[in-house]
Structure 1
Amino acid sequence: MKLSRIKELISAEILCNEEMLSMETVCAFGSDLMSDVLALTCKDTILITGLTNIQTIRTAEMLDIKCIIFVRNKRPDETIVELAKEKGICILATRHTMFTTCGILYSNGLKGVDKD
């Protein structure tokens, strides 16, 4: 699924790296615990979270996650957005809760990351 479709489905605002909206992704993972995110094994994952601190960007960078969706109207501060720009991570923000965001994306064909 293209990031542009995801943006449309969840009525998201793009906060940085708009040029990445043509990128395809195959799965998503929702969590506010970065230790859980570090256990990911799926390539081309997007991260859905309400955690807007620097650790979210650093975790995404370590796992080569190219898109983060911030839920619940959460907005990272400008230093976080600038770091995401620098690291080539697309940032989207939606008013939806994590549950609703995950549900919308799942019901439209985006797979989740399941741990073995």
Structure 2
Amino acid sequence: MKLKEVLELVEGRVVAPENADLEIEISKVAASDLMSDVLALSEPGSLLVTGLATPQCARTAGVVGIPVVLIVRNRDIMPETIKAAELSGVVLCVTKKGMYEVCGILYSAGLQPVYNQG
């Protein structure tokens, strides 16, 4: 599923970068507010759904190869978080919906969960 389709489903929008590639292909989703879990359980190319709106979410996504972070609950995004996303090469998005609802929508649309295979 393309990022633009994901954003339509969850009524989300891109925060940064302004010229984000909406054609990024998303097939798996990880959801966590604990960046240590993201480091341990994520897969490159997956979408991260989180309520954490600090620069750490963008930095962590960049380290593990996650191209898109979707911040839930309409959190205010600090300029430092936007900067971290841009420096990490991560597309930063936001939605008003909560994490549980977003995960349900994306799962129902056919996106698969990320599992720790190790």
Short-chain TM bin? over 0.9
Distance 1:38 1:88 in 2: 17
Q: Please list the CA deviations of residues 24-73 of structure 1 after superposition, one character each: whole Å capped at 9, or x if unmatched.
A: 01101000011111112523111000011121111111101110000011
Query: Cα offset for 1:19?
Result: 2.8
**Hey, what does 2:78 align to over in structure 1?**
77
Matches of 2:110 and 2:90 in 1, distance apart?
Answer: 22
Q: How high is the TM-score relative to the length of structure 1?
A: 0.93
Any idea what SS the aligned residue of 2:21 has? helix
Q: Does 1:25 align with 2:22?
A: no
Contact 1:75-1:93 at 8 Å conserved across structures: no
* Paired position in structure 1 for 2:41: 40
Runs of 4+ in 1 over 2 A off after TM superposition: 40-43
The equivalent of 1:88 in structure 2 is 89
Cα distance in 2 for residues equivalent to 1:104 and 1:22: 19
Q: How many residues align?
A: 116
Q: Give CA-to-partner distance per residue, 1:65-114, whole Å, 9 cap, x none.
A: 11000001112211211221232211110011100000000100111112
- Output the CA distance in 1 between the equivalents of 2:75 and 2:20: 22
Residue 41 of structure 2 aligns to a residue whose secondary structure is coil
Identity, in percent, stands at 36
- The question of 1:52 aligning with 2:53 is answered yes
- Which sections of structure 2, spanning at least 5 residues, go unmatched? none
